[in-house]
Amino acid sequence: MLYSTVREFFPLYKAPRGTSDILPDEQGYWRYVEEKAALLCQLYGYQRITTPVFEDLRLFSRTVAEGTDIVDKEMYIFQDRSGQKLALSPEGTAPICRAYLEHGLYNLPQPVRLYYIASAFRYERPQAGRQRQHHQFGFEALGDADPALDAEVIEMANQFFLSLGLSGFSIQINSIGCRTCRPNYIEALKQHYSPHVASLCPDCQVRFTRNPLRLLDCKKPSCQKLAKTAPKSIDYLCNDCRTHFESVQKYLTALGLSFQVKHRLVRGLDYYTRTVFEIESQREGAQSALGGGGRYDDLMEQLGGDSTPSVGFAAGIERMVRSLKAQEVNIPALPKSDVFVAYRGDEAKLEAMKLALRLRRSQIAVMEATGNRSLKGQMRQANTSGANHTIIIGKTEVENQTVILRDMKSGEQKSVPSAEVEAALEGVNTA
């Protein structure tokens, strides 16, 4: 169907379910988030790392671990032409640990502080704030067991959301112990749940045998009731873990951060030890987790490395963008073209092309007209381009080696020698 300005038709293909295009209108938010992320990381001494979009499947099945939703149900798994089993990265931490070991980053002074911005792929049920491909900003401090580093990462996450201009979020922390003390806690948890297994949701019945910690995380009301009265992990911590958790809290308090200890906080990935934390927006309804992280002291060993205690954080960029919009945070507009160049006739077109090239080499952003549109059509294009000035070249201008310079706001036009366009645009030579 053809309308005066809008043409509608039905495309043969759409973006896969749970994925979305980030159109130019949205890009201002993304650039804003990425710039704030880069600035934050510079302030805290974190350097960027980029890892492949896909990895050896085992990297995730052994670390995120079987028995977690991500590995059991959500990974995008495929075999390449050589028969190797690969997975699209569902998260950013395991690939970074793999890179740390592969490139000998353990030889650098520790901790090694790294950050990433990357896609994550999970075959989840799409809904607002939950996609099958989403993007994460995350940072990791590798190779140091100091609880001050847990506090640094948590404070940095808090600072990140503040620097975006967001408010109304809270920080929850917990400790889920280590391989020494966690088995006792898991045992207590199983004892608590075992008389009620039949009344658990089907997912939790599986969790009961495969990953009991995740029972605490179930959102189903009947399961939540049992979770509320479940034993608390902090009551089962060994001395080292208890001291560590106390120190983290002491440091956070000293840094002036307000936080709550949430006893039911466990994370969706299996590699966490000791500190876990989450930052939640209190303003958004469902999918309110803005980001989360924790310590993963045993992960490097699972990947064949030496003991490398580490801590990290990741946050979903789509959810940040959603919060920025909901809270009407003012985002700087993306820069537009400085100048639109219009022409009439073939000779003028050639001059227009040469001038555009020259201006761009002087760092002036130029959008050029193309084709054989009427001057009126080109001026419409100039208007929508957002450029402050339009340069018009016709036959007379070619002959006189001049251009017409139009101020798009005031509509004023003047003739300018072609050689003086740069100066005229800078307002130095307005003759």
Matching residue, tokens 């640094």: 152
Query: Closest distance between ligand AMP and the C-beta of residue 91, in Å?
Result: 5
Q: Which is nearer to ligand AMP, 127 or 370 (CB)?
A: 127
Q: Rounded to an integer, what distance in angstroms lies between the CA atom of residue 45 and that of residue 52? A: 23
Query: Closest distance between ligand AMP and the C-beta of residue 69, in Å?
Result: 9
Query: Closest distance between ligand AMP and the C-beta of residue 131, in Å?
Result: 4
Q: Rounded to an integer, what distance in angstroms lies between the CA atom of residue 200 and that of residue 204? A: 6
The residues, ordered by sequence, that sit 6+ positions from 77 with a Cβ below 8 Å of its Cβ are 57, 85, 86, 87
Q: Which is nearer to ligand AMP, 60 or 185 (CB)?
A: 60
Q: Which is nearer to ligand AMP, 312 or 341 (CB)?
A: 312
Q: Which is nearer to ligand AMP, 136 or 308 (CB)?
A: 136
Cα-trace Rg, the chain: 28
Residue at shortest CB range from ligand AMP: 316
Query: Closest distance between ligand AMP and the C-beta of residue 234, in Å?
Result: 21
Query: Closest distance between ligand AMP and the C-beta of residue 104, in Å?
Result: 26
Query: Closest distance between ligand AMP and the C-beta of residue 189, in Å?
Result: 21
Query: Closest distance between ligand AMP and the C-beta of residue 271, in Å?
Result: 11
Q: Which is nearer to ligand AMP, 54 or 106 (CB)?
A: 54
Q: Which is nearer to ligand AMP, 226 or 324 (CB)?
A: 324
Query: Closest distance between ligand AMP and the C-beta of residue 126, in Å?
Result: 8
Torsion angles phi and psi, residue 340, rounded to 5: -110, 135
Q: Which is nearer to ligand AMP, 126 or 345 (CB)?
A: 126
Query: Closest distance between ligand AMP and the C-beta of residue 365, in Å?
Result: 34
Structure tokens at 162: 């503040």
Q: Which is nearer to ligand AMP, 53 or 419 (CB)?
A: 53
Q: Which is nearer to ligand AMP, 134 or 263 (CB)?
A: 134
Q: Which residues bind ligand AMP (CB under 6 A)?
A: 91, 122, 124, 129-131, 134, 136, 268, 289-292, 314-316, 318-319
Q: Which is nearer to ligand AMP, 18 or 386 (CB)?
A: 18
Query: Closest distance between ligand AMP and the C-beta of residue 314, in Å?
Result: 4
